[in-house]
Amino acid sequence: MATTGRTNRYDVILLVIFLVLFILESYFVLSGLAWNTIESGRITYSILILVTLAATTAGIVFTYSVVSYVQRKEIKHLIFLFWGANMVLIAFLFLITHPSSVWSPFCDRDRNRTIVTALGFLLTPGLLAISLTGNKLATRKDKIVTSVWGLLGQPAFSLILLISPTPLFQVTSEVGGVIGLTPIGWLNTIVVLAAALLSIFISFRKWLVTHDRNLLSIVFAVVLWLEALVIYTILENPNQIAEALWFSGVTAGFMILGVGMILTSIIEPYRFLQTLVESRTEELEISKKEIEYTLDMWTHKLGNLLQSITSYLELLDIALEDNQDPEPIQTIVSELNREATIINRQVAKLAIIKKNQHLATYPVRIAHILDLAIAEVRPLISDTQIVLENQSNNNSQINVDALIDILFVNIILYCVRFSIGKNSKMEISIRRNDKGVSIRFSISEARPIDKDLAYLRTRGIVSSHSVSLEIYLISILIERYQCKLSYSREDSEAKNVIEIYFPK
9-279 domain in CATH 3.40.50?
Answer: no
pLDDT at 503: 87
Across the range 117-124, mean pLDDT stands at 81
Hey, what long-range contacts does 76-80 have (CB within 8 A, 24 or more apart)? 76/129, 76/130, 76/133, 76/134, 76/135, 76/214, 78/138, 78/142, 78/143, 78/146, 78/147, 78/150, 79/126, 79/129, 79/130, 79/146, 79/150, 80/257, 80/261
Compute the average pLDDT of residues 305-325. 70
Q: What's the confidence (pLDDT) of residue 23? A: 93
Between CA 248 and CA 228 the distance in angstroms is 8
For 93-152, the DSSP string reads: HHHHHSTT-TTSTT--HHHHHHHHHHHHHHHHHHHHHHHHHTTPBP-HHHHHHHHIIIII
User: What is the pLDDT confidence band of residue 268, given thresholds at 50, 70 and 90?
Assistant: low
What's the pLDDT score for residue 223?
A: 92
- pLDDT at residue 293, rounded to an integer: 66
Band of the pLDDT at 2, cuts 50, 70, 90?
very low
Band the pLDDT of 224: cuts 50, 70, 90. Answer: very high
Helix crossing, 241-262 with 213-234: angle to 10°?
180
The CA-based angle 89-90-94, given to 5 degrees, is 125
pLDDT at 3 over 50: no
Is the pLDDT at 273 greater than 80, yes or no?
A: no
Statement: residue 195 has pLDDT above 60: yes
pLDDT class of 264 with cuts at 50, 70, 90: confident
Give, in order, the Cα–Cα distances in Å from 359 to each of 182, 249, 371: 70, 55, 22
pLDDT greater than 70 at residue 376:
yes
Average pLDDT over every residue of 287-311: 68
pLDDT band at 47 (very low <50, low <70, confident <90, very high): confident
Highest mean predicted confidence (pLDDT) among 56-65, 283-292, 300-309, 341-350: 56-65
Question: Residue 419: is its pLDDT beyond 70?
Answer: yes
pLDDT over 60 (residue 341): yes
Contact 451, 478 (CB under 8 A): no
pLDDT at 384: 72
111 vs 9: CA distance, rounded Å: 44
pLDDT at 220: 92
Question: Which of 7-16, 137-146, 492-501 is predicted with the least confidence, judged by mean pLDDT?
Answer: 7-16
Amino acid at residue number 70? V
Q: How far apart are CA 298 and CA 89, in angstroms?
A: 73
Q: pLDDT confidence of 216, banded at 50, 70, 90?
A: confident
1 or 140, which is more confident: 140
d(Cα 300, Cα 291) in Å, to the nearest integer? 14
> What confidence score (pLDDT) does residue 143 get?
87
CATH class of 357-503: alpha beta
Cα(45)–Cα(39) distance, integer angstroms: 10
pLDDT of 7 reads 47
CB atoms under 10 Å from CB of 477, counted, come to: 23
* Alpha carbons 398 and 404: distance in angstroms, whole number: 10
Q: What average pLDDT does the structure give for the chain?
A: 80
The answer to whether residue 392 scores a pLDDT higher than 60 is no
Q: If pLDDT is split at 50, 70 and 90, which confidence band does 20 have?
A: very high
CA-to-CA distance for 449 and 428, rounded, in angstroms? Answer: 18
Break the chain into its structural domains and give their ranges: 9-279, 357-503
Cα separation, 305 vs 297, in Å, equals 12
Give the pLDDT confidence of 455-479 residue by residue, as tens digits.
665 555 455 455 677 888 888 888 8
- In this prediction, residue 285 has a pLDDT band, given cuts at 50, 70 and 90, of confident
Local confidence band at 27 (pLDDT 50, 70, 90 cut-offs): very high
User: What is the per-residue pLDDT for 138?
Assistant: 83
Q: How far is Cα 357 from Cα 401, in angstroms, rounded to an integer?
A: 10
Query: Which pLDDT value is given to residue 393?
Result: 57
Tell whether the model's pLDDT for residue 235 goes beyond 80: yes
Closest CA to 359 of 408, 397, 400, 398: 400
Q: Which residue has the higher pLDDT, 337 or 239?
A: 239
pLDDT at 300: 64
Better-scored residue on pLDDT, 228 or 1: 228
